[in-house]
């Protein structure tokens, strides 16, 4: 029971008192049919005893009592995820909201549930989940249905509000640019295949080559690091038939450039290279790197718009927002020698 000076009860308090999960409390609040009557009565009794009031997010937006948004993100120093988080914090601040970031080492069920519980205890107005990997799909289903939530880079098939960059179209633009320069085919150094971004770029690369009637070379799977790009580049540099490489991010491209240089393969005279992300340093690579730019600011603002729409219980233009990617042409692509 709430007393003067104490915090208001949260869904996790109801779950603890009733001896159930917060998902079960959410189902009771939403009159979900798959709840045993005895469990439903126990949850209702706990709600009454604690004085818990649901739909706090919409009420908080109207009254101004909560201006806090919770973010669930993988603990990462990679350019993409780090930039996305920075841009969302700025977009939220511009709208008058503070951001509480819950970082996890892995996007698994236990880690996400723990962070979500902490955010719910903070009585956040809504949640944003930056979920880049397929293994997070099951864990993300644990978020209570009554909590406003938007996913960034999540699973398009999950049926939740989602904002993502058009990875497929970005990859297609990169591969088309290389084919139009006169290259017979394009080799691809990919990111981890379990990442949605990486899978989209692989699909766009393969689809574009197939549509053009070109041979699809073996995929070179890596992580996102320059070191892995260098390892893949060492192999590619020894293959004279390789004249064009599409790297899944700019750091992989950096490693490829180093390996080609060490073998005396000139870029772009002997081998053309394209990256993805457009990191700030890309324009200063030798040669300046042609790449695909992701607008993390546009993603962040779109995610915030979707979230605010849920918090106001107002209609939104779409549950899924696809942000275009942009090819940035510099000096790392030329016709084959």
220, 216, 240: which is closest to 230 by C-alpha?
A: 220
- DSSP track, 297-326: HHHHHHHHHHHHHHHTT---S-SEEEEPPE
> pLDDT digit string (tens) for 246-291?
999 999 999 999 999 999 999 999 999 999 999 999 999 999 999 9
CB 31: neighbour CB atoms within 10 A?
A: 8
Q: How far apart are CA 297 and CA 88, in angstroms?
A: 7
Q: How far apart are CA 96 and CA 99, in angstroms?
A: 10
* pTM across the whole model: 0.79
Q: How far apart are CA 35 and CA 293, in angstroms?
A: 47
What are 309's two structure tokens?
């729409």
> pLDDT digit string (tens) for 114-144?
888 888 888 888 999 887 887 666 666 767 7
Q: Where are the alpha helices (DSSP H) in the chain?
A: 11-18, 22-29, 37-50, 56-63, 79-94, 109-121, 136-140, 167-180, 196-211, 226-237, 250-262, 296-311
Do residues 251 and 189 make contact, with C-beta atoms less than 8 angstroms apart?
no
Q: How far apart are CA 51 and CA 6, in angstroms?
A: 13
59 in the Ramachandran plot: left (φ > 0), alpha (ψ -120 to 50) or beta? alpha
Do residues 179 and 214 make contact, with C-beta atoms less than 8 angstroms apart?
yes
pLDDT > 90 fraction of the chain, expressed in percent and rounded = 58
What are 310's two structure tokens?
């849920």
At residue 164, the 3 state secondary structure works out as strand
Give, for all 337 residues of the chain, the pLDDT tens digit.
443 445 678 888 889 999 998 888 878 876 777 788 889 899 989 988 888 866 555 455 544 447 899 998 888 888 888 899 999 999 999 998 999 999 888 777 788 888 888 888 888 889 998 878 876 666 667 677 778 889 998 877 777 889 999 999 999 999 999 999 999 999 999 999 989 999 999 999 999 999 999 999 999 999 999 999 999 999 999 999 999 999 999 999 999 999 999 999 999 999 999 999 999 999 999 999 999 999 999 999 999 999 998 887 665 556 889 999 999 999 999 999 8
> Domains in the chain, start-ordered, CATH in brackets?
11-54 (1.10.260.40), 65-165+296-324 (3.40.50.2300), 167-294 (3.40.50.2300)
What are 229's two structure tokens?
């790009």
Q: In Å, how far are 127, 243, 319, 334 from 265, measured between CA atoms?
A: 48, 10, 47, 13
Q: How far apart are CA 315 and CA 222, in angstroms?
A: 41
């Amino acid at each position: 029971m709430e007393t003067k000076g104490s915090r208001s009860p949260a869904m996790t308090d109801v779950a603890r008192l009733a001896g159930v999960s917060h998902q079960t409390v959410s189902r009771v609040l939403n009159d979900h049919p798959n709840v045993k009557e005895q469990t439903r009565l126990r949850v209702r009794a706990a709600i009454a005893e604690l004085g818990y009031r649901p739909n706090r997010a919409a009420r908080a937006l109207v009254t101004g009592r909560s201006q806090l948004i919770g973010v669930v993100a993988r603990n990462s120093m990679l350019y993409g995820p780090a930039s996305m988080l920075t841009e969302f914090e700025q977009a939220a601040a511009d709208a008058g909201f503070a951001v509480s970031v819950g970082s996890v080492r892995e996007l698994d069920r236990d880690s996400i549930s723990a962070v979500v519980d902490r955010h719910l205890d903070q009585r956040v107005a809504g949640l944003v989940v930056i979920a880049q990997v397929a293994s997070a799909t099951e864990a993300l289903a644990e978020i209570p249905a009554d909590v406003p939530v938007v996913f960034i880079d999540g699973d398009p098939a999950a049926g939740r509000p989602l904002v993502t960059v058009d990875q497929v179209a970005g990859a297609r633009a990169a591969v088309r640019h290389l084919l139009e320069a006169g290259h017979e085919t394009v080799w691809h150094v990919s990111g981890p295949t379990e990442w949605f971004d990486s899978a989209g770029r692989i699909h766009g690369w393969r689809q574009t080559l197939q549509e053009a009637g070109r041979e699809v070379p073996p995929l070179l799977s890596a992580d996102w690091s320059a070191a892995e790009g260098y390892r893949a580049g060492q192999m590619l540099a020894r293959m004279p038939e390789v004249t064009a490489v599409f790297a899944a991010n700019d750091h992989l491209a950096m490693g490829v450039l180093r390996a080609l240089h060490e073998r005396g393969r000139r870029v772009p005279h002997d081998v053309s290279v394209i990256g993805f992300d457009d990191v700030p340093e890309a324009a200063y690579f030798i040669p300046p790197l042609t790449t695909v730019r992701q607008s993390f600011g546009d993603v962040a603002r779109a995610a915030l718009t979707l979230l605010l729409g849920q918090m106001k219980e107002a209609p939104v233009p779409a549950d899924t927002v696809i942000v275009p990617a942009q090819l940035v042409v510099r000096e790392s692509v030329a016709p084959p020698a």
